[in-house]
Chains A and B, each alone.
Chain A
């Protein structure tokens, strides 16, 4: 799509949307939001960028093929599920550190699970959308 407005806007929107995605990811445990929605917003940011600047440029921006996010995310989620088993709790128990970190809030296994989900969603959505839109061109 050759539109100067969209092109300029998407350059500013990409970091803003990514920041918003991380915000949604972090507030997700007790409030509406979470890894899934955050991942969707992040992938929408990249899709918007690809609309404005072409798919090749977005791929270049990402550096890795989007499919590479999937195993990383899966591994993070799996490990966060396994972590409580090390201290003798059942699989996928929510274990929290007692110290509150500024901005992020409490850190615990559900947060890492959500981060894993976040990456898987980005990977899956971008792979699907890129594959479909590439074969159209």
Chain B
């Protein structure tokens, strides 16, 4: 399982970076999303995968009993997902706006701020 996830994380990072290096804006966006998911998977993987109960205290108990999964990575991932949800939707709106303004998908055409002296 760890090995499988490890490979998955690697593939997500690699494809994410690869997509970001393309010239298309949509691929840039896909790259960012893949990278974000890769990071979340990495937290999940490094938080330690245990085959156990969810970390919820039953009605009858006062403390957690038995083997349970570490809740911290899960809450970290949840936070990271929420944040990336906001950031990615912002990026989508921004790219749409840029596309409406300059009528192209090519990132190479975005050089006006650099070329001005």
Contacts and interface: CB of A to CB of B under 8 A. Distances in A.
Contacts, number: 18
A133 B73 CA distance: 33
A132 B89 contact: yes
Interface residues of A, number: 9
B96 interface: yes
A113 to B, nearest CB: 15
Contact of B89 (A30, A31, A32, A128): A128
A36 B75 CA distance: 12
Contacts of A107: none
A131 B56 contact: no
B86 A132 contact: no
B56 A32 contact: yes
User: Main secondary structure on chain B at its contact with chain A?
Assistant: helix
A128 B93 CA distance: 9
Interface string A104-137: 0000000000000000000010001001100100
A132 B93 contact: yes
A131 B93 contact: yes
A31 B56 contact: yes
A36 B82 CA distance: 9
Contacts of B92: 132
Interface string A26-37: 000011100010
Q: Which 3 A-B pairs have the closest CB atoms?
A: A128-B89, A135-B96, A131-B93
Interface of A: 30-32, 36, 124, 128, 131-132, 135
